[in-house]
A = this chain, B = another copy of it.
Amino acid sequence: MKRMADVGEVALLRRLCRRLPGRPDVTVGAGDDCAVVRPDKRVAFDWLLTSDPVIEGIHFTSGTPLAGVGHKALGRVLSDIAAMGGEPLWALVDVVAPPDRPARLLDDLYRGINRLARRTGTAIAGGDLSAGTSLELHVFGVGRVPAGKAALRSGARPGDRIAVTGRLGGSIGGRHLRFAPRLREGAWLRRHATAMIDLSDGLATDLRRVMEASRVGAVLEGESLPVSPDARRLADARRTALDHALFDGEDFELLVTLPAGRANRIMAEWKRTQRTPLTLIGTVTDRVGRLELQSPEGRRLIDRMAYEHFR
């Protein structure tokens, strides 16, 4: 008998997605940061649907401050909406909790959820509360984006420049519980991006997703990567700061590909109008599926496996 662990998340999802019932009003189904639906042609917006789990022992350890866990649960969904260039509207929150936990647990979770919801103009429109064996949040979010304008993973072309917001690596030091979803940045970048994704599983893994959806390759310039102070602090003999920036999950920054001919003008306009850092870190290539790292010592293949649930 093959177990889930033998097959892995990616192969399991790929098999499922081929058979999902659709509707003509679903423009983008499973496989991007959000699904995109267009129910009414007279309306100037497409709608974005997304959901994310946050599970004790998987996405946070017991003992983590619960306001941070609530922040993270809503923040993950808002980061997905940001990655499409969208604006968040409504969210539902399902909580699963063991009955012997303190009743104030919910107050703590919702302190983090409500604060981030208010800050981003998101309504918490409902949800559910159920007993279970571990503490979990499942957040469902709805956003919108001007019709036909959602940024997808699939539009990157050879020659495009690759850029990321913020600084990468070491999110586990605390940023994963208090990051600001890049909503304003995503809405700005969508107007220029050929592809966009949020960095939830690490730069190398999420860039691979863009490469796969766009059927391209990529070269990253090691010396250009905006390595975070957290990544530098975590660096030791076993793992360099660059290694953290490449592979650590939960940065919740945006990765974007920009048309080569306009990249410099876009970067200049960004610097004039935005405060969040945006850094050019590499180039899209036509070597499909090949992810390379350029450093002063030369060019080498990045072939480390991505993090997978069930592995």
Partner-B contacts on A (CB < 8 A): 1-7, 9, 12-13, 15-16, 19-23, 25-26, 29-31, 34-35, 37, 39-40, 42-43, 45, 47, 49-53, 55, 57-58, 89-90, 92, 94, 96-107, 110, 114, 117-118, 121-134, 136, 138, 140, 142, 144, 309-310
User: Contacts of A142 on B, CB cut-off 8 Å?
Assistant: 37, 49, 142
Interchain CB contact under 8 A, A49 and B125: yes
> A131 to nearest B CB, angstroms?
4
Of A9, A22, A131, chain B has the most CB atoms within 10 Å of the CB of: A131
- Show 12 A/B contacts (Cβ-Cβ < 8 Å), sorted by A: A2-B102, A5-B99, A9-B129, A23-B90, A26-B123, A34-B126, A35-B126, A40-B43, A51-B127, A58-B131, A132-B134, A132-B136
A4-B99, A43-B42 are known contacts. Are A58 and B130 too (CB-CB below 8 A)? yes
Nearest to A309 among chain B residues (CB) is B131
Tell me the bound Cα distance from A52 to B92 in angstroms.
10
User: Contacts of A114 on B, CB cut-off 8 Å?
Assistant: 19-21
Interchain CB contact under 8 A, A103 and B6: yes
Tell me the bound Cα distance from A13 to B34 in angstroms.
29
Interchain CB contact under 8 A, B133 and A57: yes
Beyond A4-B98, A94-B138, list 16 extra A-B contacts (CB 8 Å).
Answer: A3-B101, A4-B100, A4-B105, A4-B106, A13-B129, A20-B124, A21-B123, A22-B123, A39-B45, A39-B144, A49-B92, A49-B126, A49-B140, A49-B142, A50-B92, A58-B130
User: Contacts of A35 on B, CB cut-off 8 Å?
Assistant: 90, 92, 125-126
> A5 to nearest B CB, angstroms?
4
User: Contacts of A34 on B, CB cut-off 8 Å?
Assistant: 126
User: Contacts of A50 on B, CB cut-off 8 Å?
Assistant: 92, 126
